[in-house]
Amino acid sequence: MISLENKNRLLYGIIFVCILCFGTSYSPLSCSILFAAIGILCFYEMWQLRIGKTKILALLYVSSPFILIQILIWQYLSVDYGDLYNWGGSEIILRILFVTWTFDSFAYLIGVRFGKNKILPSISPKKSWEGFIGGMIITVILTLLYCLYNEESFLNYLLIAIIIPFLATLGDFIESAYKREAGVKDSGNLIPGHGGMLDRMDSLLITISFSAIIIIIN
């Protein structure tokens, strides 16, 4: 029997994913506005976490991904810079999101069911090696199936499917460390069952930055 808390978590999680996917895929303008709004919320929540403490590094950490994604949207991913509705870059951004979400979801589910060996219990007690390894394996398998279905080279995505789990986990640990230092469980209460916007974006902060830098330098 699913508890009311988990039902709310699932419902609002689905709503958040749908908003993010629609806003990203509709046009470069909607994508830009959406990530700017998310970035502002994450910036505000990190500011609140760091009240009375040094803020510069934390705010730079949380703002960098959203600055980089704006560069991607307007300089590298738009098909026609003069057409706000001619949008060919959403697929790249959505791939980053889905690979990260796939790992995150399965790492959580496997960790809840089989997790015994914690990675860093003093920072994030729910993260286990079983969840991490299981999430990575499933991410690689689903990436392979995606490539077979779309007749794309698996090697082009294999590295991403392997690296993103490490980056996503690191992002979770960094945010958990900030919350633990602030003495709070969640970064906010914006999304019922999930906490704040920063709680939803923690694993994406580094994966977005990494992916954006790779695309820009190439």
Give the model confidence (pLDDT) of 82-100 as tens digits.
555 555 667 788 888 989 9
Q: Is the dihedral of CA 142, 30, 191, 61 positive or negative?
A: positive
Exposure class string for 112-151: b at 16+ Cβ within 10 A, else e = eeebeebbeeebbeebbebbbbbbbebbbebbeebbeeee
The residues facing 87 across adjacent strands are 78
Q: Give the position of tokens 């995505």.
A: 157
What pLDDT score was predicted for residue 79?
52
- Contact (Cβ atoms closer than 8 angstroms) between residue 38 and residue 197: yes
On the question of pLDDT at 59 being above 90, the answer is: yes
Percent of all residues in the chain with a pLDDT value above 70, rounded to a whole number: 90
* Per-residue pLDDT tens digits for 140-192: 999 888 888 877 777 777 888 889 999 999 999 999 999 999 999 889 888 77
62 token code pair: 């949380």
Round to whole Å and give the CA distance between 41 and 196: 9
User: What are the residue boundaries of the structural domains of the chain, listed by start?
Assistant: 4-217
